[in-house]
Amino acid sequence: MALANKKHERFFSTTGSDADKVSTSKLTEVKDLWDKDAANGSNLNLLNDPNLGPLLYQMQQMQDELDELRRYITSNEIAPAIDASALPTSAPRTSGLLYNSKGTVKIS
């Protein structure tokens, strides 16, 4: 199974000089507000807010994508196990490290 397409879009930048760059102090302020809201267990109430509901939806999309990445990485789809019986045992063979290059086992 291939990795699914990206679901999320960037909210803002924290580095560089992009027009959407947000200050560190603003991020700290927002994180504090989030932590207080989460401690009260009221994050689900945010879904009813016409401004914050869409942002919360986007955050959930990002969490879903991270879960998909974890599933993909832990399922050995990136570098599946090599069947040692299929590797050459006599000449001609090359010495070096085996690696997976887009599904093809190669020797470096």
Outline where the chain has alpha helix (H).
Answer: 24-39, 52-74
59: closest CA among 46, 42, 70? 46
Rounded to 5 degrees, φ, ψ at 26 are -65, -40
> What is the C-alpha separation between 5 and 68, in angstroms, rounded?
10
For residues 85 and 41, what is the distance between their CA atoms, to the nearest angstrom? 55
The whole-model pTM stands at 0.42
Q: Which burial class, exposed, middle or buried, applies to 56 when counting CB atoms under 10 A from its CB (0-12, 13-18, 19+)?
A: middle
The Cα 101–Cα 37 span in angstroms is 46
Please report, in tens digits, the pLDDT of each residue of the chain (108 residues total): 677 788 777 888 888 888 889 888 998 998 888 788 778 776 766 777 888 888 888 888 889 998 988 888 777 666 566 666 666 655 565 666 677 777 777 776
